[in-house]
Structure 1
Amino acid sequence: MSRVPADRQEHGVSDPPAPAEQATESAPAAPKTLATPVRPPAGGGPFGRGPFGGGMPTEKSMDFGPSARRLIRRLDPERPRILAVIALAVLSVVFAVIGPKILGRATDIVFSGVVGKQFPAGSTKEQAVEAVRASGNANLADMLARMDLVPGHGIDFAELGTVLAWALGLFAAASVFGWLQGYLLNDATQRTVFRLRADVEDKLNRLPLKFFDGQPRGELLSRVTNDIDNVSQTLQQTLSQLLTSLLTVIGVLAIMFVISPLLAVIALVTIPLSMIVTGQVAKRSQKQFVAQWAHTGTLNAHIEEAFTGHELVKVFGRGPEVEEVFRGRNEDLYKASFGAQFISGIIMPTMMFIGNLNYVAIAVVGAVRVATGSMTLGDVQAFIQYSRQFTQPLTQVASMANLLQSGVASAERVFELLDAEEQAPDPADAVPAADRRGRVEFEHVSFRYEADQPLIEDLSLVAEPGHTIAIVGPTGAGKTTLVNLIMRFYELDAGRITLDGVDITAMRREDLRGQIGMVLQDTWLFGGTIRDNIAYGNPRATDEQIHAAARATYVDRFVRTLPDGYDTVIDEEGNNVSAGEKQLLTIARAFLADPSLLILDEATSSVDTRTEVLVQHAMAALRSDRTSFVIAHRLSTIRDADLILVMEAGSIVEHGTHDELLAARGAYHRLYSAQFSGALVAADDEMAG
């Protein structure tokens, strides 16, 4: 089901189309608020926004730093949880860092026990050391001097058990604190993403219709779904790891300096080298990630459009062209994705190589210092563990660089949507809805989609309460634009429109649209029961009111033939009811809303003649005692209109009743003759004239 912004789901708007489907006859060029291609006007080709129009969007990326900081700032409401996460992470890292030092003590106990067993019992440690030194092995004597050696005694298993128990307890505590940290951080990040989704939804409801006219639906959906999901995954997987890695590096580095400043300096050499490698690779891969998500949105837009117009693609035999476009865009996505993953993937093996070099250097230097008695074997063993703990966070951070860059690239696209220009807000001192009489007046109205392309200039007209105003004219004359201005889907360039004497810009959009019912040529039904679809016009309606609206609009007669009646479920595409039945349902929806002003936009153009009679009767019941604007190409449907406006190029060139306009033998007469006196002859005469 096409998503409909909430500001168009007002009470009384019976048939809200998906944003991109609200195509006007002179639709605007794409807005420049997002980095999307300027698309041709809707209806400008066989498919309008179909699979053969538009170019590749060029994505202008923000800087990585500002985008990442803006994403992190969205965590501000979760500050208490984040502080708790930091505290738990500190405790977890402290316990995890102390563990290897204690295990080093266990190694010394085992080594001292094995070596001590080699000397005769009853002698002292000093005697054993002097005996070794006297034998000419000074290095071994120095090493024994640093050991907790008891000649003749083996391994002290009691002390060893105590040390191992402490180590086990520390590691267990570190794991528990790490689990709690992950739980709280998961809660904080999911709440943040929840608010981000809510902000995007609210933003979509505040965006003007012209924004959606210029956005491929697949591209917009990709930002709202794929990009936000990617941001969620990035926050979830990187925040905890980055925090833990940073604290681990600090803690490990501190204890490494305590054990051996020389070996700590050797370990530090890897930091600037790692930063240089990571920075250079990240700089090259970020552009690829931005391109990857831009191409993802473009491919989604193409797929969505191709499947939406699947029948037309088949009818016109354009399958090969659609497949060719898909292959091209899929290839672009493949190249961008491959480049992003390959370039960022270089970081991990490079960091592992640097880490292994650091490991070798520490092992060699540490062995020499043990041999010279400068360090114990347990300290070297602990230091080697710390060197792994030191390089592992750096390697993990490097391995997350591709995920982090991908997430920030997605965040940029979401932020661009959040930064798009919004429609003018409702006035703070909005005028409440006046008496629902339905009098509409255009006062010197001017409007154009593009500044250099005039459309409606200095238009004035009055629709009296209860009258039916028919609007006719060739395609592109501005008929649909006229009713869109009444609905305030677009803002005027000059003049004003009043409803019952109140300027519509002085009213809240909700109040304005609550007085208007709309039935469009393109019917819109959602996946749900027939009862739910009718009640969409008035959610508070009772079953009796729903049935009364259905009977008045000839819906009841076909609903009664269905096995489940009003509980019949309509699928998302509405394929289990005919086109005429769908149109009758939309009319029943508007009838139930009981609007004071009714807009019918080509509401019978897609049904057969027999069904048109039913639809006409239903619309006649709907128009009773209501001001109605009827846009029609079938002139036979508006013969009884109180006033017919003939529009050409945004201006009203004729107005009057059906008989008056035929007698004037002007533009209306030409349109009427084209339909009822031979379209081809009339067209030839007009071209010759």
Structure 2
Amino acid sequence: MFKELVEPFRHPYPKSVIQQQGDSGRKKRAKAKDWSGTLGRLWSYLAQRKAKLTLVLVMVVFSSALALLGPYLLGTAIDNYLQGSGGKPWAWFLLGLGLIYAGSSLTSWLQNIWMIEVAQETVYRMRSDLFAKLHALPISFYSKRQQGEIMSRVTNDIENVSSTLNSSAIQIFSSVLTLTGTIVVMLYLSPILTLLTFIVVPLMVFGMRWITRRTGPLYKQRQKDLGNLNGYIEETLSGQRMIKAFSQEERVLREFRARNAAIRRSSFWAQTISGFIPKLMNFLNNFSFALVAGIGGVLAIYGQVTVGVIIVFVEYARQFTRPLNDLANQWNTLLSAIAGAERVFEVMDEDEEASDENGVQPIDQVTGKVSFSHVYFSYESNGDTLEDISFTAEPGEMIALVGPTGAGKTTLIQLLSRFYEHGRGTIAIDDRDIAAIRRDSLRSYMAFVLQDSFLFQGTIRDNIAFGRLDASDVEIEEAARLANAHSFITRLPQGYDQILGLGGDGISQGQKQLLAIARAMLANPAILVLDEATSSIDTVTELKIQEGLQRLMKGRTSFVIAHRLNTIRQADKILVLKEGQLIEQGNHTTLLEQGGFYSELYYGHFQEQDEENGG
């Protein structure tokens, strides 16, 4: 029975992972992302509220001083009153002692309130900076990471920093001050008893070192496991339709349990090992108490110290180990916060999309001429995804991209919009190299209507206006009419003010496409990128979409990832891609006459597809 209970926790973490993570931690410390660097960056955020932070520190100093003064007065009272040495009346003593403890409570309350304010403003700025950074990163950053893992950095990791700043920062500073003050007063009262108290320090240092060397890597591993789990949850929630369509619920549950178990293991060992800290500190605290009381009593018999001094020392011995105990307990919280902060700053240190835009200029006008000249590109270091691509699209032309899956159609579009940067060769718009054009300026002259049109949670009006935020209601409705979307919008209960759910939930796929066309229509771009697939859409809606697309493309240079024979026939130029190479280009008639790869595609796929659809 015991073996069955323990078995789930048998895992490489106790040895191999701790060693492995420790090695990786040492490697990280060799670089810029060490603890001191992380703490320095956290301080740069805290320092923006120096005045309030200074008040917090002043209150901590007063609170620590008053906490030290109370036991000292008690010892003095014992020597002066209980032993009959005379002194001031008890009433004055009790009043002073009451004021001291009241002041200690007041300063503690003020420091906590003010520190929470500073901490929350700090976390607010960190979260805002991180979110802004996420919008400045290139598409390649997101293609290599799960969305949930990225979200974990904005939520869980930031929250770890928040909880630490709220409580641990004050606790650590207060403990250091209390510890320093306690040592000074103890040395003043009795150096011999002070040395006795110090006996526990080597034991404490050795025990803490043993524990923290193991908990540090485990807390980092826990944050990593938590990010992986969040990413998997987000992925499975987004893909629920596909999971249910293929009846893969059991497989998804198995993989979730595996990731969940990874968090259980890392959290189990991190918290189990860190749980030794209070046990160790309690033992040392009692040991120190017994040592001071026993030897102090012997010294009192021989007149080396007074009874009051022993009482003060017993209390200070407890105060001496308590700050160490607090530091030990808060150290684990600090480790967790540093692990979270490191993950946040890792994202902030990523190269921004605009980091290579030195000397680039915006463009004031685009006619729509696009040219690729011997362009090469690869997602990885080995091999080319696109190889020696050359063509020219004149203003207003419709360019159809044709080829099998993985031929490079989407990649070509991503290079044109600078979501990725090409390697060799030149991509130019109006005979101007796009590398010399600011990305935001370039994209402001482009619009996208994709197969899976993304809509934001909000009103239909806001989603159409996303193409141009300063558009008036009249312009929004005119764009909707041109896209054939106005009729279905007006039939909705709230019309243009109808609230859509996340991802446009609440309307059909065809209606989403019409709204995407209206959004692009309102943006009034010079260059269009269309993935005009209309599969699984009824015929009436398809005709409306095609009509809206024709209006949208009129007079604009359009790049269409073609799925329909009708689109290919209308194209001014067809680019035939295969395995990353542009093997043929020309219009529909010319390419059929050549009898090449396009002819095979046409007779083997497009014509067959058109016949199935009754075209």
1:550 aligns with 2:550: no
**What secondary structure does 1:497 align onto?**
strand
1:675 aligns with 2:612: no
1:208 aligns with 2:138: yes
1:309 aligns with 2:239: yes
The one-letter amino acid paired with 1:321 is R
1:98 aligns with 2:69: yes
**What secondary structure does 1:196 align onto?**
helix
Partner Cα separation in structure 1 for residue 525 and residue 49 of structure 2: 45
Partner Cα separation in structure 1 for residue 286 and residue 41 of structure 2: 34
Percent pairwise identity: 40
1:467 aligns with 2:467: no
Shift of the 426–549 alpha-carbon distance from structure 1 to 2, 3 Å rule, reads: farther
Task: Please report how far the alpha carbon of residue 293 of structure 1 lies from its aligned counterpart in structure 2 after TM superposition.
Answer: 1.0
Cα offsets for 1:340-368 (capped at 9, x unmatched): 01111111111110111000111112222
Match of 1:192 among 104, 122, 126: 122
2:154 is aligned to 224
Cα offsets for 1:110-163 (capped at 9, x unmatched): 523xxxxxxxxxxxxxxxxxxxxxxxxxxxxxxxxxx506xxxxxx8x711111
Partner Cα separation in structure 1 for residue 513 and residue 38 of structure 2: 49
Match of 2:85 among 122, 129, 148: 148
Partner Cα separation in structure 2 for residue 466 and residue 72 of structure 1: 53
1:511 is aligned to 441
Partner Cα separation in structure 2 for residue 458 and residue 484 of structure 1: 16
**What secondary structure does 1:281 align onto?**
helix
Partner Cα separation in structure 2 for residue 328 and residue 564 of structure 1: 46
Q: More displaced, 78-87 or 550-559?
A: 78-87
1:281 touches 1:343 (CA, 8 Å); kept in 2?
Answer: yes
2:154 touches 2:344 (CA, 8 Å); kept in 1?
Answer: yes
1:87 is aligned to 58
1:175 aligns with 2:105: yes
**What secondary structure does 2:425 align onto?**
strand
Task: Please report how far the alpha carbon of residue 471 of structure 1 lies from its aligned counterpart in structure 2 after TM superposition.
Answer: 0.8
Partner Cα separation in structure 1 for residue 384 and residue 22 of structure 2: 29
**What secondary structure does 2:504 align onto?**
coil
**What secondary structure does 1:271 align onto?**
helix
User: Which has the higher relative contact order, 1 or 2, with Cα contacts under 8 A spaced 6 or more apart?
Assistant: 1
1:242 is aligned to 172
Partner Cα separation in structure 1 for residue 539 and residue 577 of structure 2: 26
Cα offsets for 1:6-33 (capped at 9, x unmatched): xxxxxxxxxxxxxxxxxxxxxxxxxxxx
The one-letter amino acid paired with 2:209 is G
2:461 touches 2:496 (CA, 8 Å); kept in 1?
Answer: yes
Task: Please report how far the alpha carbon of residue 627 of structure 1 lies from its aligned counterpart in structure 2 after TM superposition.
Answer: 0.9
Shift of the 71–268 alpha-carbon distance from structure 1 to 2, 3 Å rule, reads: farther
2:112 touches 2:167 (CA, 8 Å); kept in 1?
Answer: no
The one-letter amino acid paired with 2:36 is P
Partner Cα separation in structure 2 for residue 552 and residue 676 of structure 1: 29
Shift of the 580–572 alpha-carbon distance from structure 1 to 2, 3 Å rule, reads: same
2:6 is aligned to none
Partner Cα separation in structure 1 for residue 352 and residue 539 of structure 2: 43
1:119 is aligned to none
Cα offsets for 1:542-570 (capped at 9, x unmatched): 10001000111011110111111111100
1:435 touches 1:500 (CA, 8 Å); kept in 2?
Answer: no
2:370 touches 2:428 (CA, 8 Å); kept in 1?
Answer: yes
1:290 aligns with 2:247: no
1:567 aligns with 2:497: yes
Match of 2:316 among 386, 397, 413: 386
The one-letter amino acid paired with 1:408 is I
Shift of the 297–588 alpha-carbon distance from structure 1 to 2, 3 Å rule, reads: same
The one-letter amino acid paired with 2:123 is V
Partner Cα separation in structure 1 for residue 538 and residue 333 of structure 2: 55
Partner Cα separation in structure 1 for residue 529 and residue 66 of structure 2: 71
Shift of the 59–433 alpha-carbon distance from structure 1 to 2, 3 Å rule, reads: farther
1:69 is aligned to 39
The one-letter amino acid paired with 2:39 is R
2:528 touches 2:557 (CA, 8 Å); kept in 1?
Answer: yes
The one-letter amino acid paired with 1:106 is A
**What secondary structure does 2:584 align onto?**
strand
The one-letter amino acid paired with 1:104 is G
Partner Cα separation in structure 1 for residue 22 and residue 448 of structure 2: 37
Cα offsets for 1:637-676 (capped at 9, x unmatched): 3321111111112222122222222232222222222235
The one-letter amino acid paired with 2:312 is A
The one-letter amino acid paired with 1:105 is T
1:529 aligns with 2:499: no
1:587 is aligned to 517
1:189 touches 1:235 (CA, 8 Å); kept in 2?
Answer: yes
Partner Cα separation in structure 2 for residue 525 and residue 605 of structure 1: 19
The one-letter amino acid paired with 2:361 is V
Cα offsets for 1:75-100 (capped at 9, x unmatched): 34344443333333222211221111
**What secondary structure does 2:193 align onto?**
helix
Partner Cα separation in structure 1 for residue 394 and residue 279 of structure 2: 77
Partner Cα separation in structure 1 for residue 357 and residue 557 of structure 2: 26
1:270 aligns with 2:205: no
2:270 is aligned to 340
2:11 is aligned to none
The one-letter amino acid paired with 2:108 is G
Task: Please report how far the alpha carbon of residue 290 of structure 1 lies from its aligned counterpart in structure 2 after TM superposition.
Answer: 1.2
**What secondary structure does 1:321 align onto?**
helix
1:67 touches 1:408 (CA, 8 Å); kept in 2?
Answer: no
**What secondary structure does 2:164 align onto?**
helix
The one-letter amino acid paired with 1:645 is L
Shift of the 512–677 alpha-carbon distance from structure 1 to 2, 3 Å rule, reads: closer
Cα offsets for 1:478-524 (capped at 9, x unmatched): 11111111110011101221222222111111111111011111211
2:398 touches 2:560 (CA, 8 Å); kept in 1?
Answer: yes
The one-letter amino acid paired with 1:470 is A
2:409 touches 2:577 (CA, 8 Å); kept in 1?
Answer: yes
Task: Please report how far the alpha carbon of residue 539 of structure 1 lies from its aligned counterpart in structure 2 after TM superposition.
Answer: 0.8
Q: More displaced, 428-437 or 356-365?
A: 428-437
1:472 touches 1:646 (CA, 8 Å); kept in 2?
Answer: yes
1:345 touches 1:402 (CA, 8 Å); kept in 2?
Answer: no
Gaps of 5+ in 1: 1-56, 113-146, 150-155, 682-689
Task: Please report how far the alpha carbon of residue 68 of structure 1 lies from its aligned counterpart in structure 2 after TM superposition.
Answer: 4.8
1:600 touches 1:630 (CA, 8 Å); kept in 2?
Answer: yes
Task: Please report how far the alpha carbon of residue 177 of structure 1 lies from its aligned counterpart in structure 2 after TM superposition.
Answer: 2.5
**What secondary structure does 1:374 align onto?**
coil
- TM-score, length of structure 2 as denominator length: 0.90
1:218 touches 1:301 (CA, 8 Å); kept in 2?
Answer: yes
1:426 touches 1:509 (CA, 8 Å); kept in 2?
Answer: no
1:454 aligns with 2:384: yes
Shift of the 327–261 alpha-carbon distance from structure 1 to 2, 3 Å rule, reads: same
Partner Cα separation in structure 2 for residue 474 and residue 367 of structure 1: 91
1:278 touches 1:347 (CA, 8 Å); kept in 2?
Answer: yes
Q: More displaced, 78-87 or 455-464?
A: 78-87
Task: Please report how far the alpha carbon of residue 428 of structure 1 lies from its aligned counterpart in structure 2 after TM superposition.
Answer: 4.2
Partner Cα separation in structure 2 for residue 502 and residue 171 of structure 1: 75
Cα offsets for 1:188-245 (capped at 9, x unmatched): 3333322322332232223221121110111111122111111221222211000000
Task: Please report how far the alpha carbon of residue 247 of structure 1 lies from its aligned counterpart in structure 2 after TM superposition.
Answer: 0.1
Partner Cα separation in structure 1 for residue 23 and residue 365 of structure 2: 49
The one-letter amino acid paired with 2:85 is D
2:370 touches 2:429 (CA, 8 Å); kept in 1?
Answer: yes
Equivalences, count: 585
Match of 2:411 among 481, 485, 494: 481
